[in-house]
Amino acid sequence: MLTLVIFLPVVVAAVLLAVPRAGDRTVRWAWIATSAVEVALVTAMWVTYSPAPDGYAFEQHHRWIPSVGAGYHVGADGLSLPLLALTAVLFLACAVYSVRRTRRMRAFAALFLFLETVCLGVFTALDLLLFFVFFDLSIVGMYFVIAGWGHRGAARAALMFFLYTFLGSLVLLLGFLGLYLLSSPHSFDIVELARQDPAAGRGAVAGLVLLALVLGLAIKTPTVPVHTWLPPAHVEAPAAGSAILAGILLKMGTYGFVRIVLPVLPGTWRAYAPVIVVVGVVSVLYGALVAMAQRDFKRMIAYTSVNHMGYIVLAFGAAALVAASEEQARQLAITGAVTQMVSHGLITGALFLLAGVLHDRGGTYDLGSYGGLARQLPAFAGLTALAVFASLGLPGFSGFVAEFQIFTGSLSGAPVATAVALLGVLLTAVLLLRAYQRIFLGPSRTVVTGDLTVSETLAIGPLMALSVAIGLFPRFLLDVIEPAARGVL
């Protein structure tokens, strides 16, 4: 079942490329249909989800490279299932959004279907090598999306993106090798490693392995100061590419923390948790402040991603600092962090697609070129207002459920850091509302026509609807995450 879910898109992609005369129309509908089937399959997984005693459901384990103890081991638990759902939903949204705007449709669709497989693979892999393969392939796929369908400076930005994150993945591989060598018997299996606690009593070596893992994942997340590949990549990427990059690919970094680093190296993580907290807080404030100074809408949203991902890193750090007696606070922080991954995926995905609409109508992302758009494009203005308020963490949207849990859970572990990070909530409100005001409110300054099309509304609307659903009725999501969050640290 799980293997089918993972590999269906790439099989369809191969078929699309193999069929010699597939028209754009066929390709489009095949793409949308496949993405919709994926959503249906993941929904079915969600409904039938009942984890085994070890916490995983839909587990599959086959021999792959037995000489190094690496196997094809996949499974889903409460940490991965929400991200699988997010992946399926966001790829469907991108398919619907791209329905009538893309050149070289066949290659584009195939690339996105390939990326969907890769993303689902990362979130289900329970073997380090398998994880690494998918993690690396995501970079390759996104490189071609940016380079092939991006704006003017895309080639350069794509190259920077590729080299930077590829470097990160190499460092990550070093860390994986370190874990392999520390374990006995040697293994790449995540479940096995978590059982072994391979770093116990290894002192400095464990510290070095942690450093490699954290650096590798931090580049992908990204946190300050290894974030500078993100803004140019976003600015140059096509809208759907940005949505996937911010919505899914960034989560691979934070997912790596909660899937691999925290369970496998709990003691070492606790020892270095203060550093992680600082990295998180700096990302929160730095990301928000730099975003505030941007004049380019897309670049600004890219920096708010640094801010939002900072909350997750902060929560992971603070969860390790919470006293052993305060189980509830730790759980709350980790549950909040996982919720934030889902929430940020939905909201930022929507914001980037909306930025695509803005560029489509006005030809630029420059904030100063717009004014009073709400008069000409009321539906666009309304949907963007929803996304903006969702992004600034307003209650009623998913961001609040995530951030409230993160802050409340983290305060006892890292009181000063959490109090300082709270300012990030205010700063994002300032910068998003200022940008909104500049683009949409006040007197009209440009002639822009063409309100949201049906496909745009159908792509973006459900993302916001899901965010509201999580914001008001979070139990369906939290019931899945909470039991899994309990076992993380």
| Least Å from the CB of residue 339 to other proteins | 10
Contact of 45 with 3, CB cutoff 8 Å: no
95 vs 411, beta carbon nearer other proteins: 411
| Least Å from the CB of residue 265 to other proteins | 25
Q: What would the two tokens of residue 209 be?
A: 């392995």
14 vs 379, beta carbon nearer other proteins: 379
| Least Å from the CB of residue 219 to other proteins | 11
> Alpha-carbon distance 90 to 385, whole Å?
20
265 vs 383, beta carbon nearer other proteins: 383
| Least Å from the CB of residue 181 to other proteins | 28
| Least Å from the CB of residue 414 to other proteins | 10
140 vs 423, beta carbon nearer other proteins: 423
223 vs 242, beta carbon nearer other proteins: 223
> Alpha-carbon distance 198 to 295, whole Å?
48
| Least Å from the CB of residue 131 to other proteins | 26
121 vs 399, beta carbon nearer other proteins: 399
| Least Å from the CB of residue 194 to other proteins | 23
Question: How many Cβ atoms from other residues are within 10 Å of residue 459's Cβ?
Answer: 29
Give the footprint of other proteins on this chain (CB under 8 A).
160, 163-164, 224-225, 227-229, 286, 289-290, 292-294, 326, 328-329, 331-332, 335, 372, 374-375, 378-379, 382, 389, 394-396, 400-401, 404-405, 407-412, 415, 418-419, 422-423, 425-427, 429-430, 433-434, 437, 440-443, 474-475, 478, 482
121 vs 317, beta carbon nearer other proteins: 317
